[in-house]
C-alpha cells in the first residue's frame, strides 16, 4: 500500500547533516519549510491587502466622511478622519500590487509549487535548494520594501498597479511618484528576481527529478499547472523587469524611453521622443500572462481537489493538459486587449480581439470538464472541495464577461469602468483566492501534520462565497452605468447619484466578507498547534505526497523513492476494492492502464 512496503533500507540521498534552528526554520533549504514560509508571508500580505480594500470600499460608500478607522490607520493621510485623495490612489495601487504579485503569485504559486512539485513527482527536494532559499528571501525582502513605502514622506506609489508613465515617472505629477515609486520599482525588481529563480527551479525540477515511472502523462494536473505557470513566468517576467529598469532610467537618469513633450507645473521638461504606449506594451506583455500565472496554479489545485473528493478521475485529462498549454500559449499574444483605447493602431485592436476571444475556448473546455467530473461522482464535501466548486463557479461568472471586455468594439465603452473591476476580481482574484484556500485546506495535513477544523472551514466558505458574489455581481451593473474606476469619490457627478446605495451594499458585503476571513486565520494558526493529528492520507488520495510520513523528514521519503505505475486519477476504478489506487501501486495481473 504505502511507499515503505517495497523499500530497501539504504540511504543514498546524503541529506543528513546537522540542522540548527537557523538552517531549519530561517535559512532553510528544505522545500517543505520554504513552502510554509511562502504561505505565512503570503497570508500576512493578504491581510494587509484585504484591509486596504476595506478602507477603499468605506471611502467609496461614505465618501469624505470622517471615520475613526481611517484616522487610526492612516494617520496624517486622514486629517480629522477624512481620507485624503492621494492616499486613496495609493491604496488602490498597493492593494493591486500586493494582491496580484505578493499574495496570488508568490503566496499561491510559491507555496504550492514548492510544497507539491517534489512531493508529487517523487523527488527528494527541488533541483536547487539554495536557489529556492534565495528566492524566498528575495521575496521577503521585496515584501518588506513594498510595505515600507507606507512610511515615506509623500506616501507609497499611487499611479495604479499598472504604474503607467508619465504619472509614475514624474514626482511633480503626484506625491506618490517620488520616493514611494522608487521603492515600488526596487521592490518589484527584487520580486521579479525571486520569481525567476523560483520558476527556473520548478521547471528544472519537473523535467529532471521525476521518479521512476513518472512520465509526463502520469503527472497530476497540479504539476502540469505549476510547470506551465513557471514557463510563462520565465518568458514574461523579464519583460516587466526591462520595463521597470527603463522606467528607473527615465526617472533617475534623464533618459526618454517613455516620455516626450511634457509641460507640467509651469515648465517644459527635457524629455523628447519616448512613448508611454511603449511602456503599456512592455507592462502588459507580463501583465496579461500574469493573470494566468495567478490562475493556472489555482486551476491545477482545484483539478486535484475535485478529482480526489469526487472519487472520480478528472474528466478529459488530456484535454485538461492541452487546454493548459493552449491557455499558456495564447496568454502571451493577447496583451493588447488592455490597450484597445490606448492610441495604438486600430488594426492591432482587431488582431488582439481575435486572439483574446480564442482563449475562451480552452477555458470553456476546462469548465465543462470540471462539471463532468462531478457528474455521477461520490462527492466528499470537504472545505477544500467547496472552495474548488466555488472556484469553478466564479471562474465561469467572471470569465464570461471577458467576452464583452475582449471585444474591442465593446471595450471602448466599458474600458476602465467598474465592469472591469468586477470582471477581473471574479475571474482571477476570487477564483485564485479560492484555489489558494482549497490548497491550504487540502494540504494543511501534509504541511503541518494536523487537520484544520472542518466546521470553521464550512463557515468560512459559505460566508465568503455569498459575500464574493454580493460584492462583485452588482459591481458589473455599476460599471454598465459608466462609473469609472479609481475615483476617490463619485459625488462630483450627479449622474451617478443613483448608484450610491448600491455602493453602500457592496461595501457591507465586503466588510462582512473580510471579517469572516478571521475565521480562516484563527482556524489556520490555531490548527498548526492544536489541530487534530492527521492521518497519513486523510483524503484517501492517489498522489505521492500522501505516501510520505506525517512527520516531515529531510529528503521526503525514508529509504528509496517510490516507483510510479499508473496515473494519479485511478479513483473508483473497477476491479479494485478501495475507491482509490495510489500511483505507487503496481498494476495487478491483467489490469490495463488507461490510455490518456
Q: How far is the CB of 149 from another protein (least distance, A)?
A: 17
Tell which residue, 391, 383, 429, has the closest CA to residue 527: 383
Q: Are 595 and 317 in contact (CB under 8 A)?
A: no
Q: Which residues between 206 and 265 bind another protein (CB under 8 A)?
A: 259-264
Region 284-323 residues binding another protein, contact defined as CB under 8 A: 309-319
By CB under 8 A, name the one of 35, 55, 58, 291 that touches another protein: 58
Q: Does 593 bind another protein (CB under 8 A)?
A: no
Q: Is 417 helix (H, G, I), strand (E, B) or coil?
A: strand
107 or 176: whose CB is closer to another protein? Answer: 176
Dist. CA 293–CA 274, nearest whole Å: 30
Question: Using the rule CB under 8 A, which residue among 469, 524, 546, 557 binds another protein?
Answer: 469
CA distance 57 to 518: 18
Judged by beta carbon, residue 124 or residue 337, the one nearer another protein is: 337
Provide, rounded to whole angstroms, the least separation between the CB of residue 522 and another protein: 6
Closest CB to another protein among residues 69, 234: 69
Cβ distance to another protein smaller for residue 494 or 590: 494
Contact of 191 with 145, CB cutoff 8 Å: no
CB half-sphere exposure, 352, CA atoms < 13 A: 26
Minimal distance in Å, beta carbon 185 to another protein?
17
Q: How far apart are CA 490 and CA 159, in angstroms?
A: 19
The Cα 348–Cα 167 span in angstroms is 25
* Site pattern 477..496 for another protein (x: CB under 8 A): xx-xxx-x-xxxxxxxxxx-
Q: Measure the CA dihedral 580/581/587/591, to 10°.
A: 10
**Sole binder of another protein in the list 208, 217, 252, 350 (CB under 8 A):** 350
Is residue 105 involved in binding another protein (CB under 8 A)? Answer: no
In angstroms, give the least distance from the CB of 164 to another protein: 5
Shortest distance, position 246 Cβ to another protein, whole Å: 15
Please report how close the Cβ of residue 484 comes to another protein at its closest, in angstroms: 5
Based on the shown chain and the rule CB under 8 A, indicate whether residue 582 belongs to the binding site for another protein. no
- For residue 98, the minimal CB distance to another protein (Å) is 17
Instruction: State the nearest-atom distance from the C-beta of 490 to another protein, in Å.
Output: 7
Q: Give the one residue of 429, 531, 562, 582 binding another protein; rule: CB under 8 A.
A: 531
Q: How far is the CB of 194 from another protein (least distance, A)?
A: 27
| Cα 283 from Cα 336, distance rounded (Å) | 10
Q: What is the distance between the alpha carbons of residues 146 and 101, in angstroms, rounded to a whole number?
A: 11
Interacting positions 330-349 with another protein (CB under 8 A)? 341-343, 346, 349
Instruction: Give the ranges where 481-562 is alpha helix by DSSP (H).
Output: 500-515, 517-530
CA–CA gap between residue 408 and residue 411 (Å, rounded): 5
Decide if residue 95 touches another protein (CB under 8 A): no
Question: Which residue's CB is nearer to another protein, number 83 or number 192?
Answer: 83
- Indicate whether 525 belongs to the interface with another protein (CB under 8 A): no
Closest CA to 104 of 258, 294, 304, 267: 294
528-536 CB contacts, 8 Å cutoff, 24+ apart:
528/448, 528/450, 530/450, 531/444, 531/448, 531/450, 531/451, 531/452, 531/453, 532/450, 532/451, 533/449, 533/450, 533/451, 534/445, 534/446, 534/448, 534/449, 534/450, 534/451, 535/445, 536/2
**Cβ at position 200, least distance to another protein in Å:** 33
| Shortest separation between residue 460's beta carbon and another protein, angstroms | 10
Candidates 65-73, 187-195, 205-213, 425-433 — which segment interacts with another protein by CB under 8 A? 65-73
Q: Of 14-22, 158-166, 183-191, 224-232, which part binds another protein (CB under 8 A)?
A: 158-166
Terminal-to-terminal C-alpha distance of the chain: 24
Show Cβ contacts of residue 188 under 8 Å, excluding neighbours closer than 6 positions: 97, 101, 142, 240, 244
The Cα 296–Cα 291 span in angstroms is 8
Using an 8 Å Cβ cutoff, are 377 and 311 in contact? yes
Would you list the DSSP string of 135-199? HHHHHHHHHHHHHHGGGSTT-S--STTTT-TTTTT-GGG-GGGTHHHHHHHHHHHHHHHHHHHHH
Provide, rounded to whole angstroms, the least separation between the CB of residue 224 and another protein: 16
Site map (CB under 8 A) of another protein, residues 13-52, x = contact: ----------------------------------------
Q: Is 160 in the site for another protein (CB under 8 A)?
A: yes
The residue from 29, 114, 174, 205 that contacts another protein (CB under 8 A) is: 174
Q: Which residue is associated with the grid cell 499598472?
A: 162
Sites for another protein among residues 361-400 (CB under 8 A): 361, 364-365, 367-372, 374-382, 385-386, 389, 392-393, 396-397, 400
Return the bridge partners of 465, or none. Answer: none
Cβ closer to another protein: 229 or 393?
A: 393
Nearer to another protein, 14 or 590 (CB): 590
69 sits near another protein (criterion: CB under 8 A): yes
Q: In this complex, which beta carbon is closest to another protein, that of residue 67 or of residue 195? A: 67
Binding mask 270-289 for another protein (x = CB under 8 A): ---xxxxx------------
Amino acid at each position: 500500500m504505502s511507499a515503505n512496503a517495497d523499500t530497501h533500507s539504504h540511504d543514498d540521498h546524503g541529506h543528513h547533516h546537522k540542522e540548527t534552528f537557523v538552517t531549519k526554520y530561517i535559512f532553510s533549504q528544505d522545500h517543505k519549510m520554504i513552502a510554509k514560509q511562502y504561505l505565512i508571508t503570503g497570508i500576512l500580505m493578504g491581510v494587509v491587502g484585504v484591509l486596504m480594500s476595506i478602507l477603499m470600499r468605506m471611502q467609496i460608500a461614505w465618501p469624505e466622511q470622517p471615520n475613526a478607522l481611517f484616522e487610526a490607520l492612516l494617520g496624517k493621510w486622514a486629517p480629522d478622519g477624512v481620507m485624503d485623495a492621494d492616499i486613496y490612489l495609493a491604496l488602490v495601487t498597493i492593494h493591486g500590487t500586493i494582491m496580484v504579485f505578493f499574495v496570488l503569485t508568490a503566496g499561491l504559486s510559491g507555496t504550492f509549487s514548492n510544497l507539491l512539485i517534489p512531493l508529487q513527482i517523487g523527488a527528494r527536494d527541488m533541483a536547487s535548494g539554495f536557489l529556492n532559499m534565495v528566492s524566498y528571501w528575495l521575496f521577503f525582502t521585496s515584501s518588506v520594501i513594498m510595505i515600507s513605502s507606507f512610511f515615506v514622506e509623500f506616501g507609497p506609489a499611487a499611479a495604479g498597479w499598472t504604474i503607467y508613465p508619465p504619472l509614475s515617472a514624474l514626482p511633480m505629477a503626484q506625491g506618490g511618484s517620488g520616493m514611494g515609486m522608487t521603492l515600488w520599482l526596487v521592490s518589484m525588481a527584487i520580486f521579479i528576481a525571486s520569481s525567476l529563480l523560483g520558476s527556473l527551479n520548478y521547471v528544472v525540477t519537473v523535467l529532471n527529478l521525476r521518479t521512476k515511472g513518472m512520465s509526463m502523462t502520469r503527472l497530476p494536473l497540479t504539476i502540469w499547472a505549476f510547470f506551465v505557470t513557471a514557463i510563462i513566468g520565465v518568458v514574461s517576467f523579464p519583460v516587466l523587469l526591462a520595463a521597470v529598469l527603463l522606467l528607473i532610467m527615465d526617472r533617475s537618469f534623464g533618459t526618454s524611453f517613455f516620455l516626450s513633450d511634457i509641460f507640467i507645473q509651469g515648465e517644459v521638461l527635457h524629455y523628447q521622443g519616448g512613448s508611454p504606449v511603449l511602456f503599456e506594451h512592455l507592462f502588459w506583455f507580463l501583465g496579461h500572462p500574469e493573470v494566468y500565472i495567478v490562475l493556472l496554479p489555482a486551476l491545477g489545485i482545484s483539478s486535484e481537489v475535485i478529482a480526489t473528493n469526487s472519487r472520480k478521475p478528472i474528466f478529459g485529462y488530456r484535454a485538461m493538459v492541452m487546454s493548459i498549454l493552449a491557455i499558456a500559449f495564447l496568454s502571451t499574444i493577447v496583451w493588447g486587449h488592455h490597450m484597445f483605447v490606448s492610441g495604438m493602431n486600430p488594426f492591432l485592436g482587431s488582431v488582439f480581439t481575435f486572439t483574446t476571444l480564442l482563449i475562451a475556448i480552452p477555458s470553456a473546455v476546462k469548465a465543462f470538464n470540471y462539471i463532468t467530473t462531478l457528474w455521477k461522482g461520490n462527492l466528499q464535501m470537504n472545505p477544500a472541495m467547496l472552495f474548488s466548486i466555488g472556484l469553478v463557479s466564479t471562474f465561469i461568472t467572471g470569465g464570461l464577461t471577458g467576452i464583452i471586455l475582449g471585444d474591442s468594439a465593446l471595450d471602448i465603452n466599458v474600458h476602465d469602468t467598474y465592469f472591469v473591476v468586477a470582471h477581473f476580481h471574479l475571474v482571477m482574484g476570487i477564483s485564485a483566492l479560492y484555489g489558494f484556500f482549497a490548497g491550504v485546506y487540502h494540504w494543511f495535513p501534509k504541511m503541518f501534520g494536523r487537520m484544520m477544523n472542518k466546521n470553521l472551514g464550512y463557515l468560512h466558505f459559505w460566508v465568503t462565497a455569498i459575500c464574493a458574489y454580493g460584492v462583485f455581481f452588482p459591481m458589473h451593473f455599476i460599471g454598465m452605468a459608466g462609473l469609472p474606476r479609481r475615483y476617490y469619490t463619485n459625488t462630483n457627478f450627479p449622474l451617478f447619484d443613483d448608484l450610491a446605495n448600491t455602493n453602500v451594499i457592496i461595501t457591507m458585503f465586503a466588510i462582512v466578507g473580510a471579517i469572516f476571513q478571521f475565521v480562516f486565520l484563527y482556524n489556520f494558526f490555531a490548527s498548526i498547534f492544536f489541530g487534530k493529528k492527521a492521518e497519513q492520507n486523510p483524503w484517501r488520495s492517489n498522489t505521492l505526497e500522501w505516501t510520505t510520513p506525517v512527520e516531515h523528514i529531510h529528503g521526503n521519503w525514508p529509504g528509496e523513492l517510490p516507483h510510479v505505475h499508473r496515473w494519479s486519477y485511478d479513483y473508483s476504478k473497477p476491479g479494485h476494492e478501495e475507491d482509490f489506487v495510489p500511483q505507487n501501486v503496481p498494476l495487478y495481473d491483467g489490469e490495463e492502464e488507461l490510455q490518456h
